[in-house]
Amino acid sequence: MTTNAQPQRSLGQLVSDLSEQTSRLVRAEIELAKTEIAERAKILGAGSGMLVAAGVLALYLLAAVLTTLVIVLDLWLPLWAAALIVTLLLLIVVVVLALLGVKALKKASPPAPQAAIASVQDDVAALKGPSA
C-alpha cells in the first residue's frame, strides 16, 4: 500500500502562499483591466477622430448646400437678391438658436442644486423644532 505522503505544510506557509497568490491574482487582474482600457481608449480615439472629420465635412456640406440654394434662386432672381435671401434665412436661424440657447442657460442658472438646498433647510428647521 503506497500512500501519497505529501509533506504537511504549516499554517504559516499556507497563509503565506495564499497571500502571495492573492497579490499575484490582483496584479494580473489590474494588468488585464489596463490592457482592456487601453484597447477601448484606442477605439474611442479612432471613433472620436472620425466624428470630428464628419463634423468638419458637414460644415463644408452646409456651405455647398447654401451655395446651391443661392444658385437655384439666381434662376429667378438677381444674384444679389438670391444671396441676400439665403443670408437672411441663415440670420433668422442663428437668432432663433441663440435665443433658445440663452433661454436654456437662464433656466439652468444658477447651477446650484435648489431642491437639495431647500430640503437641507427643511431638515435644519425640523431639527431645531417648533421653538425656533
The proportion of the chain whose per-residue pLDDT surpasses 70, expressed as a percent, equals 93
In a domain, 101, yes or no: yes
In a domain, 83, yes or no: yes
pLDDT of residue 6: 65
In a domain, 63, yes or no: yes
In a domain, 100, yes or no: yes
CA atoms within 13 A on the CB side of 1: 1
Instruction: Provide the domain count of the chain.
Output: 1
In a domain, 89, yes or no: yes
C-beta atoms surrounding 69 within 10 Å: 16
Residue 9 carries which DSSP code? P
Cβ–Cβ under 8 Å, residues 70 and 62: no
pLDDT of residue 132: 53
pLDDT of residue 128: 78
> Average pLDDT of 65-82?
95
pLDDT of residue 5: 57
pLDDT of residue 41: 87
In a domain, 31, yes or no: yes
DSSP for 54-122 reads HHHHHHHHHHHHHHHHHHHHTTTS-HHHHHHHHHHHHHHHHHHHHHHHHHHHHHH-S-S-HHHHHHHHH
In a domain, 58, yes or no: yes
Coil/strand/helix, residue 50: helix
Residue 14 to residue 93: CA distance in whole angstroms: 74
> Domain range for residue 67?
18-121
Q: What is the mean pLDDT of the chain?
A: 86
> Average pLDDT of 78-99?
94
**Which residues fall within 8 angstroms of residue 79, CB to CB, at 6 or more apart?**
70
In a domain, 92, yes or no: yes
Cβ–Cβ under 8 Å, residues 73 and 82: yes
